[in-house]
């Protein structure tokens, strides 16, 4: 069996594969505006059926999931591929150099809304199945595909869908290709995400804004109320003082700490990219803070007069928005409870509103399957992958690790500057083909790993 045949077949079908991608790209599927989503689900189902993937459309309380499977042997390794077929709204449209839903190639890149996020990556995975089947005759493992229709609308019904279909979705590994590759052009292997809790605090003073002289010292200032509360929540070194905030944080393993030390880090380059020239830390601290530690961030603070010149008032209201990025195994429900308890104790009249949350996730880098996937990605790209224990940001990865109880890995195929969510979203034509190749390598490496474990299993049975 030769993976060279896979590469040759992809080369000979470049135009055909591109046309299939273009067909999917032309079909709008803007979940936030409810434009074309159902039509796109139908089209995707048709395309998957044509490849021999047994596909159906499954309803949720929102937009449907397109579910497909190739089941060869109930005892074989089962890979679940997750992606999404919905896209962000294209606005502002006049900033696009070519119409957002007419795929156009310029300088080796396909420009279209949704090409990087996530249709190009999703089609790479589907077309890998076709390629692999056509080269080798069959897929050596079981594959399940879950393509969601509302990822760009916060995956509102994904957790419920996974809860309701645990048995159907049971698998040995969840594999996602979404987001950009590392900025060095190296492939990423991401093992988790930070979660989030978003809260809003409102402090009130008088019924309306008052004169700061005529009523000064008489009417309380709600901005000070919030600042006084904040001082009880965090010390000058940034440590959160809310009781129990750090209790459930899982200690990183030796391997994870080792990985962090080896990640590429260029302080000046990062400082420039974030617009903060005073950045002063080494790579180890950078990645520890970014991937293994929670944050306690003030996202917005509004009170009183912020316009030009001066206005002498005591504001009647102050509003604070905070997002806390959480790491495994902090639970947003638990952290919210602890947060409320703290506010009740120090400022009982401040109102709390919970605006959103997501659980964190992490798959252990020590698992054999992670080594298998990393090896496949390395061999496919002929480059050392950047293995990162967690993304700094948040994705609903917990539905796999916490609800399905399955390891999960994210291997993005899009270029670093894919401009997803922005005008002129793009994906390199070669990123698309490389994605097809990489998925074939992953299927192949997993099947080799599986047959190895099967042999061990048989030996055990023989005993």
Which lies closer to Zn ion via its Cβ, residue 69 or residue 117?
117
Q: Can you tell me which residue has the tokens 């273009």?
A: 22
Binding mask 17-56 for Zn ion (x = CB under 5 A): ----------------------------------------
Which lies closer to Zn ion via its Cβ, residue 132 or residue 413?
413
Which lies closer to Zn ion via its Cβ, residue 99 or residue 393?
393
Stretch that binds Zn ion, among 116-124, 137-145, 297-305, 345-353 (CB under 5 A): 116-124
Which lies closer to Zn ion via its Cβ, residue 112 or residue 229?
112
Rg over alpha carbons for the chain, rounded to the nearest Å, is 25
Which lies closer to Zn ion via its Cβ, residue 103 or residue 180?
180
Judged on CB neighbours under 10 Å (0-12, 13-18, 19+), 245 is buried
Binding mask 59-98 for Zn ion (x = CB under 5 A): ----------------------------------------
**Distance in Å, CB of 151 to Zn ion, minimum:** 6
Maximum pairwise Cα distance, the chain = 91
Stretch that binds Zn ion, among 19-27, 100-108, 112-120, 406-414 (CB under 5 A): 112-120
Q: Can you tell me which residue has the tokens 């497909």?
A: 68
- HSE, side-chain direction, 13 A CA sphere, residue 272: 4
**Distance in Å, CB of 216 to Zn ion, minimum:** 49
Stretch that binds Zn ion, among 94-102, 110-118, 306-314, 393-401 (CB under 5 A): 110-118
Q: DSSP letters along 87-127, please?
A: B----SGGG-SS-TTS-EEETTEEE-TTIIIIIHHHHHHHH
Q: Is 418 in the site for Zn ion (CB under 5 A)?
A: no
Query: Using DSSP, how many helices (H) and how many strands (E) does the chain show?
Result: 14, 19
Residue 292 and residue 252 in contact, taking contact as beta carbons nearer than 8 Å: yes
CA dist., res. 49 & res. 134, Å (int): 15
Q: Quote the tokens at residue 85.
A: 């077929």
CA dist., res. 291 & res. 307, Å (int): 38
**Distance in Å, CB of 152 to Zn ion, minimum:** 5
Which lies closer to Zn ion via its Cβ, residue 296 or residue 398?
398
Which lies closer to Zn ion via its Cβ, residue 66 or residue 219?
66
CA distances from residue 442 to 127, 346, 362 in whole angstroms, order as listed:
14, 53, 20
# chain residues binding Zn ion, by CB under 5 A: 1
**Distance in Å, CB of 425 to Zn ion, minimum:** 9
Which lies closer to Zn ion via its Cβ, residue 117 or residue 357?
117
Stretch that binds Zn ion, among 72-80, 109-117, 234-242, 385-393 (CB under 5 A): 109-117
Q: Which residue is nearest to Zn ion (CB)?
A: 117
Of residues 202 through 221, those in contact with Zn ion by CB under 5 A are: none
Among 69, 117, 323, 445, binds Zn ion (CB under 5 A): 117
Stretch that binds Zn ion, among 16-24, 111-119, 268-276, 455-463 (CB under 5 A): 111-119
Q: What stretches of 177-311 adopt beta strand conformation (E)?
A: 188-190, 192-193, 195-204, 210-211, 297-303
Pairing of strands 195-204, 351-358: antiparallel
Which lies closer to Zn ion via its Cβ, residue 13 or residue 194?
194
Q: What residues contact 69, with CB distance under 8 A and at least 6 apart?
A: 53, 54, 55, 142, 143, 144, 145
Residue 142 β-bridge partners: 78
> Contact residues for Zn ion (CB under 5 A)?
117
């Amino acid at each position: 069996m030769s993976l060279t045949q896979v590469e040759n077949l992809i080369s000979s079908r470049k135009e055909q594969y591109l046309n299939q991608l273009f067909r999917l790209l032309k079909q709008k599927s803007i979940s936030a505006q409810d434009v074309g989503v159902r039509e796109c689900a139908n089209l995707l189902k048709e395309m998957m059926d044509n490849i021999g993937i047994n596909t159906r459309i499954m309803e949720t309380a929102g937009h449907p999931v397109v579910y497909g499977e190739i089941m060869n042997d109930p005892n074989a390794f089962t890979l679940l591929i997750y992606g999404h077929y919905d896209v962000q709204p294209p606005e502002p449209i006049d900033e696009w150099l070519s119409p957002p839903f007419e795929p156009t190639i310029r300088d080796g890149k396909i420009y279209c809304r949704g090409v990087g996020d996530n249709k190009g990556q999703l089609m790479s995975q589907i077309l890998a199945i076709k390629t692999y089947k056509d080269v080798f005759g069959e897929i050596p493992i079981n594959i399940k595909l879950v393509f969601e229709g509302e990822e760009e609308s916060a995956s509102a019904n994904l957790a419920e869908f996974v809860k309701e279909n645990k048995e159907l979705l049971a698998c040995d590994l969840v594999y996602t290709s979404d987001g950009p590759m590392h900025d060095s052009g190296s492939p990423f292997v991401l093992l988790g995400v930070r979660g989030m809790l978003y809260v809003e605090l409102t402090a009130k003073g008088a019924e309306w804004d008052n004169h700061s002289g005529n009523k000064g010292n008489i009417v309380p200032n709600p901005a000070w109320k919030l600042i006084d509360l904040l001082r009880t929540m965090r010390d000058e070194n940034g440590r959160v003082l809310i009781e129990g905030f750090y209790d459930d944080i899982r200690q990183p393993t030796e391997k994870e700490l080792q990985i962090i030390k080896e990640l590429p880090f260029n302080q000046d380059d990062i400082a420039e990219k974030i617009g903060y020239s005073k950045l002063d830390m080494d790579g180890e601290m950078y990645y520890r803070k970014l991937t293994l530690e929670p944050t306690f961030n003030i996202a917005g603070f509004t009170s009183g007069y912020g316009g030009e010149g001066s206005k002498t008032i005591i504001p009647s209201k102050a509003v604070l928005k905070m997002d806390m990025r959480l790491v495994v195994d902090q639970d947003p429900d638990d952290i919210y409870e602890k947060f409320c308890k703290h506010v009740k104790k120090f400022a009982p009249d401040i109102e709390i509103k919970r605006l959103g949350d997501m659980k964190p996730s992490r798959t252990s880098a020590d698992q054999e399957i992670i080594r298998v996937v990393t090896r496949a990605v390395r061999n496919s790209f002929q480059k050392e992958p950047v293995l990162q224990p967690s993304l700094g940001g948040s994705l609903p990865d917990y539905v796999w690790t916490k609800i399905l109880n399955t390891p999960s890995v994210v291997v993005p195929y899009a270029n670093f500057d894919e401009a997803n969510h922005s005008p002129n979203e793009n994906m390199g034509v070669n990123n698309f083909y490389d994605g097809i190749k990489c998925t074939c390598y992953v299927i192949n490496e997993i099947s080799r790993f599986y047959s190895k474990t099967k042999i061990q299993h048989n030996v055990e049975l023989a005993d």
